Amino acid sequence: MTECPKCGGTDIAMILWGLPQMSKDLEKKVKDKKIVFGGCCVSSGDPKLECNDCGWRY
């Protein structure tokens, strides 16, 4: 299980960068806070995870 390096929380979401194709599966994962959107500008140093407890992106 992944743990937030800032707060120790375990409610972690993957960050999806770019412009995704929405589907029922993706919609459910966003609603369940398993995936969050990072934005449309993608770079090599973008964080991959976000803590749903404290909002830290890493």
The pTM score is 0.90
Q: Is 16 exposed, middle or buried (0-12, 13-18, 19+ CB in 10 A)?
A: middle
pLDDT confidence of residue 12: 98
What stretch of H or E contains 30? helix 24-31
What is the residue extent of each domain of the chain? Answer: 1-58
Percent of the chain clearing pLDDT 90 (strictly above): 97
| pLDDT at residue 15 greater than cutoff 80 | yes
Q: Looking at residues 8-35, what average pLDDT do you find?
A: 97
C-alpha span between 54 and 35 (Å, rounded): 15
What is d(CA 1, CA 11) in angstroms, rounded to the nearest whole number? 10
Virtual torsion, Cα 47, 51, 56, 58, nearest 10 deg = -20
Whether the per-residue pLDDT at 46 is higher than 90: the answer is yes
